[in-house]
Structure 1
Amino acid sequence: MSIPIRGVHHVGMSVPDIAIARRFYIDLLGAEEISAADWEAGNPWIDAIVGLKDSAAKTFIARLKNVQIECFEYTSPRSPDMDPARPVNRFGYTHVGFEVDDIQATYDRMIEAGLTFHTPPDLSTIVTDGDGRKSGFAATYGRDFFGNVFEILEIHDNDMIKPN
């Protein structure tokens, strides 16, 4: 018997600087901030949920069309620095994928903002027929301002990856 899941509500991410996270998700990606909250150390209810003692954090949730991203900057206990070049083959969540309308324009905008990518998108995988209809898909992995990996994808009429 399977567990009834209604869908993915959000993806949570711990970040070292909440202002820089807002710059990435809201200013650069165009997400809409739908809530923000802080909590001080000494909240046993939150400590029980997150599995930390004397936790304190700043947080926001931002909506990107069909998914919400929840970012936390834990001020207590503070995380050790992360490896900004953490390989994607390490166990755990490896990346968040964002579907875009124009991968080249999105890539160019992100490069201009100072983000890095493993490789430029290969646009030869998107084909336009005589009627102007596109098929295929293009994708590439980038790193946010902290080194977290994200993927941008442009998807057209592809049997393996269905667009939303």
Structure 2
Amino acid sequence: MIEVQQIHHVSLAVTDIERAKRFYREILCLEEIDRPNFGFPGAWYQIGSQQLHLIVYPEAKTLRGTNELSSREGHFAFRVKSYDETLRWFKEKGVTIYENPTSKSGFAQIFVADPDGNLIELNTEQ
């Protein structure tokens, strides 16, 4: 039997690492950590005990080709401290969002897309 302990990391394909790093640093406020030299561009971020890995791979089949927001598309979620502060931050930065403060999931949700269309949910308890 497999006994999964936790998610270690999520990897996302991106097309332009500098553009992606600006988004994850300036919009999502993540701090980059050291990454081994794999011979291709990318970036790693520590988020609690998990990591986010960005990999430059323009041929990836997972690139959506759109920044259209939908809660039903594949995505990953960050838990944030404050829904209202997160919402205010995105609005100040001019980030396009999809709000779902009364989701049936029990989470108050905000969805954003990175520059390559990767969907990210930010949520809090309702």
Bin the TM-score by the shorter chain. 0.7 to 0.9
2:94 to 114, 124, 127: 114
Task: Quote the Cα distance in structure 1 between the aligned partners of 2:116 and 2:28.
Answer: 15
Shift, 1:146, TM fit: 2.2
1:108–1:86 distance in 2 versus 1, CA, 3 Å = closer
Aligned 1:86-125 pairs, distance under 5 A: 89=72, 94-118=74-98, 120-122=99-101, 125=102
**Which ranges in structure 2 are unaligned for 5 or more consecutive residues?**
none
Give, in angstroms, the shift of residue 100 of structure 1: 0.9
Q: What do residues 2-25 of structure 1 show as CA deviations (whole Å, max 9, x unaligned)? A: 213332110000001111221222
- Which of 93, 118, 122 is the aligned partner of 1:148? 118
Q: In the alignment, does 2:41 pair up with 1:58?
A: yes
User: What secondary structure, in the 3-state scheme, does the structure 1 residue paired with 2:34 have?
Assistant: strand
Displacement of 1:79: 1.8
CA RMSD in angstroms comes to 2.6
Q: Structure 1 counterpart of 2:47, which letter?
A: L
TM-score (norm 1): 0.61
C-alpha contact (below 8 Å) 2:33/2:45 kept by paired residues: yes
**Which amino acid is the alignment partner of residue 25 of structure 1?**
Y
Contact 1:38 1:59 in 2 (8 A): no
TM alignment of 1:9-88, pairs within 5 A? 9-40=8-39, 57-74=40-57, 78-79=58-59, 82-84=64-66, 85=68
Give how far 1:35 is off. 1.7
Q: Which has the higher contact order (CA 8 A, sep 6+)?
A: 2
Q: Which amino acid aligns with 2:8?
A: H
In structure 1, runs of 5+ residues without a counterpart are 41-56, 126-135, 157-164
The Cα shift of 1:145 comes to 2.3
- Aligned in 2, Cα 1:3/1:100: closer, same or farther, shift over 3 Å? same
Identical residues among aligned pairs (%): 27
- 1:104 touches 1:121 (CA, 8 Å); kept in 2? no
